[in-house]
Structure 1
């Protein structure tokens, strides 16, 4: 989320470009297992672009709002731990099964909530507020963080741990600024995390196969 339609669009295109560079880097290294994680900035960039459409529609309800919520909640809850598991060395994969399991259950619960309740959005100053019904929100938020941030911290990779620390510490600050309806800084956090992923992708060794 950014503070205007234009900011969301510019941030989305920039983050997606970082994703293209990340995917290109791991493809050239012949590391197919790294592709889901390298492609994460593409997903984050698309998320920002979708929100620019929410801004232009002045909130309300509609397809763009639903797509935004699907990416933000069930898709990321499953994508991140699955992608980290794919890219992780064999020694780390056993412990990463737990965040993947938590992410699978959390993703299913979030998808059910979105399927059974309408998502709404309204413009609040320099932020977009989303009306999302979450039954048992506490366990769902905990499960979401364990699946996403937890898998990165357990990856055993220095750059991915840095990514996890950035996400884990930056998200509360962004959330606080968003709740105050002062300005939305999620896009800045997404951009910073995407650059860390680009560094990770470019630093991956060549595949031996």
Structure 2
């Protein structure tokens, strides 16, 4: 969350609670990755909350450097792999699974490149205009940005699950709004919109639970 430490911690608490509720409602093993997504959002927001506290004491603190790298690894290298895998596991349609598997391959390659980039180059974070901006060397990232978008968003639109389409709409809208209005703190604000998708994930598993109960009663 890009607005304050307290906002990050509140978001972490809310999304973490949603994640626990979703896991309780997850009926099968293949649902666990999707159900656990809000918990990972919560972890991510918690890391940034700690980073806010460190940056408030001034630049150059060692813990701030470690938190910056950890936050960027999750944001840039982890999600391109996790997102398509979570959708692939719940998708029943064979053709759609093949397409999503292709997105997963793209995500693995993208995640590997971005992990190397995060670990091999210097990075810093600073509070700029009420946001955390992540500062690093310039890079020509258009191809990587497109690959990241394909890996994290396209599987949601390829899925036969209506909830996945809702998630894709939320995340894509967040991507566009963040890019247009918060470009200097893109990585940070973008994750706030991703956290907002936790409500849709819980709604998916709650609806599935109620459908199973109705089936059992009938």
TM-score of the superposition, structure 2-length normalised?
0.85
3-state SS, counterpart of residue 108 of structure 2: helix
Select which of 107, 110, 117 maps to 1:113. Answer: 117
1:91-120 deviation digits (Å, cap 9, x = unpaired): 321221111011011001001101211221
Alignment-derived partner of residue 85 in structure 1: 88
User: Size of the alignment, in residue pairs?
Assistant: 201
Q: Residues 168 and 80 of structure 1: is their aligned pair in 2 closer, same or farther, counting only changes over 3 Å? A: same
Alignment-derived partner of residue 163 in structure 2: 159
Greater RCO, 1 or 2 (C-alpha within 8 Å, sep 6+): 1
1:135-178 deviation digits (Å, cap 9, x = unpaired): 44111110000001011111111110111011112222123332
3-state SS, counterpart of residue 39 of structure 1: helix
Q: Residues 74 and 185 of structure 1: is their aligned pair in 2 closer, same or farther, counting only changes over 3 Å? A: closer
Residue pairs, 1:194-209, within 5 angstroms: 194-204=198-208
Which structure shows the higher helix fraction? 2
Alignment-derived partner of residue 17 in structure 1: 17
Alignment RMSD (CA, Å): 1.9
Alignment-derived partner of residue 75 in structure 1: 78
TM-score of the superposition, structure 1-length normalised?
0.88
Structure of higher CA gyration radius: 2
Alignment-derived partner of residue 32 in structure 1: 29
For structure 2, the residue ranges without an aligned partner over 5 or more in a row are 213-218
Following superposition, the deviation at residue 134 of structure 1 comes to 6.5
Alignment-derived partner of residue 2 in structure 2: 2
